[in-house]
Structure 1
Amino acid sequence: MTTNRVLLVDGMALLFRAFYATAMSNYYMINSKGTPTNAVYGMMKHLFTALDTYQPTHVICCWDMGSKTFRNDLYPDYKANRGEPPVELIPQFELAKETVAALDIPNVGQVGYEADDCMGTLSRVYSEDSQVFLLTGDQDLLQLLKPNVNVVLLKKGYGNYAEYHEDSFYEEKGITPSQMIDLKALMGDTSDNYPGVKGIGEKTALKLLLKYGTIEGILENIEELTKGQRSKIEENLDMLHLSRKLAAIHCEAAVDCSLDDALFYIDEEKMGAKFDELEFKNWKKNITGM
């Protein structure tokens, strides 16, 4: 029985969620240096709430490294529907990484890959000997569920989670985590801006996967499909295969982090100095609960 509890944090997901929670009311917490800090403050609150809830022995924070990845090489319109981040958020990207580092939590990322890919790669390695928790707001990570890997989805507010393990996911969704990739390939993803098979939505995609198991199973039995389903798939076959490549989290990224480096221990003096430097008010009560 493993005693390691590894928390992999989707840094960008926490940062964006924290930013928009207060930005809607134009509350950016600008400090005396003129730097907004609302996203970093909220991210730290999310992080410490999760630390208290899951009591990890090891913590690593994963990041996107720029807006372009190998998926843009495959499909230039991937995420092309997303605008530039708000100007108040831009300086907080590096500030967030600095603050994470002040907690002696490793920051991990690889150019050309998304944080999802880093989390997938590390969870694959660590889950052999450790219990892994993936903290995110992104349902795409549900495809990574397996024994020793749980996904913790942030819900509204602090400390509200939808936690999934392999069995509970199947009970709720009726498909396996790996079938999520084929589901997204069929129905597309408006958030990531790829179409899948035009005209096939989630309901039909689920029905086909429950009957045939995989995209290969569907194609092998395409004669059994309705005329409309068959024509839609045949007309969008290339996009179907491309969408599956876009949907799949790449678990072979060239990222590595020794568990020794990720051992979680807070240097209160170092942390306090960083929080004071950022001019976080009442951080002992409102962030760390100390």
Structure 2
Amino acid sequence: MFEDLESQEIKENSENKLLLVDGMALLFRAFFANSYGGTVRRTSSGVPVNAIYGFVKYFMDAVQRFKPTHVVCCWDMGSQTFRTSQYDGYKANRPSAPEDLIPQFDLVKDVVASFGVPNVGIAGYEADDCIGTLAKRHSGDAHVYVLSGDHDLLQLVDERISVVIMKKGQGNYAVYTPEFLLEERQLTSEQVICVKGLMGDTSDNYPGVRGIGEKTAHKLIQEYGSVDGILENLDSLSKTVRAKIEADLEMLHLSRELARIRLDVPVELEFDLCGWEIDRQRQRVVGKFEELEFKSLMALIS
């Protein structure tokens, strides 16, 4: 059960609210949600735009729901990052992007820019790292809402940072605060990293400790508090679990490092330049919608 948005008290309008959008997460979700039976929405000239169309709907729904004063969209900048340097297999299992999605990568950034929203991405880092850095940096300037479908971002949750996980169906969100994270998963944000270090991540293709799955990882972290707490109490573990950890100790440390979102990315972005001002940008957005033949989306900006 996740927390209904209506049941959670959102900060008063007098406080700044920064919406950090995980652009690639929204774009991929939109692509597959808008490829009905293999049919892809295209402009009259044949340009695929189904992912952008869905992205705009997701984006505007979140803006209308959370009413941010400031918005930033973060993007991955290629598959090679500091993590692939640390571990060759990192995300090596990921398939190539669908052919019809590739031309939409640049087009969607043009649409985001037309809203006056900064597109942020740093070569060598993932969007998560940019999101984490900006969230921590500006949590003193605003209450931060991180919009994504990626549960890895739950490690960012604190009293000033809420992680908004998109659920099935547009407009359906789980809003994670420290209290809700503890209620639902019996974990703190720091412990999210420890669990990932133990169990690994099949999506990102790092193994953690072989033979330790999610249930065992949760149980160990809840009992000992952290990976370090487990290692300080190896004698208290069952012989089987202890043997697994000792056999994969190096990979445990590496997996925990791979799971940790960086908070020190060299991204330069002035908070005052991220203000959400749709009234000033409406003509630019209209022009972009006309170019992409999004007539049915005009009502979202009226």
Task: Give the structure-1-normalised TM-score.
Answer: 0.97
Find the counterpart in structure 2 of residue 232 from structure 1. 244
State the partner residue of 2:235. Answer: 223
Match of 1:35 in 2: 47
Cross-structure match for 1:208: 220
Asked whether the equivalents of residues 135 and 154 of structure 1 are also in contact (C-alpha less than 8 Å), the reply is yes
1:256 shift after superposition: 2.3
1:270 to 250, 262, 284: 284
Runs of 4+ in 1 over 6 A off after TM superposition: none
Q: Establish whether residue 121 from structure 1 lines up as the match of residue 123 from structure 2.
A: no
Distance in 2, Cα, partners of 1:27 & 1:173: 38
- The 8 Å contact of residues 122 and 256 in structure 1, kept in 2 or not, is answered as no
Which of 270, 276, 286 matches 1:258?
270
Post-superposition Cα deviations, 1:50-74, rounded to whole Å, max 9, x if no partner, equal 0100000000000000011110000
Matched, 1:284 2:284: no
**Partner of 1:88 in structure 2?**
100
Please give the alpha-carbon distance, in whole angstroms, between the structure 2 residues aligned to 1:93 and 1:34. 16
| Farther off after superposition, 17-26 or 45-54 | 17-26
Map Cα deviations across residues 107-144 of structure 1 (whole Å, 9 max, x no partner): 00100111100000000011123100000010000000
> Counterpart in 2 of 1:186?
198
Aligned length: 288
Opposite residue 23 of structure 1, the aligned amino acid is S
- Equivalent residue in structure 1 for 2:158, among 132, 146, 151: 146
Q: Deviations over 1:144-166 (max 9, x none)?
A: 00111000111112111011111
- Partner-residue secondary structure (3-state), 2:250: helix
- CA contact 2:35–2:41 (8 Å) conserved in 1: no
**Equivalents in 1 of 2:58, 2:25: separation in Å?**
11
Q: Structure 1: which 5+ residue stretches go unaligned?
A: none
What residue ranges of structure 2 are gaps of 5+ in the alignment?
1-11
The answer to whether structure 1 residue 4 and structure 2 residue 11 are counterparts is no
Indicate which of 163, 168, 171 corresponds to 1:156: 168
**C-alpha separation between the residues in 2 aligned to 1:135 and 1:101?**
18
**Quick one: which of 100, 106, 109 aligns to 2:118?**
106
Between the aligned partners of 2:223 and 2:296, the Cα distance in structure 1 is 55
Report the residue type matching 1:229 in the other structure. V
Per-residue CA distance 1:234-269 (angstroms, 9 max, x = gap): 000010000001000011101121111100011111
Q: Tell me the TM-score normalised to structure 2 length.
A: 0.93
Counterpart Cα distance in 2 of 1:48 and 1:106: 15
Give the 3-state SS of the residue equivalent to 1:85 in structure 2: coil
Instruction: Give the stretch that moved more between structures: 86-95 or 253-262.
Output: 253-262
3-state DSSP of counterpart to 1:282: helix
Task: Report deviation, 1:214.
Answer: 1.0
Q: Corresponding residue for 1:166? A: 178
Find the counterpart in structure 2 of residue 26 from structure 1. 38
Q: Match for 1:177: what amino acid?
A: S
Residue by residue over 1:4-40, the C-alpha shift from the partner in whole angstroms, topping out at 9 and shown as x without a partner, is 1000000000000000002252231111222100000
Tell me if structure 1 keeps the 8 A contact 2:289–2:298: no
Moved more, 20-29 or 175-184: 20-29
Secondary structure class of the residue paired with 1:153: strand
**What's 1:136 paired with?**
148
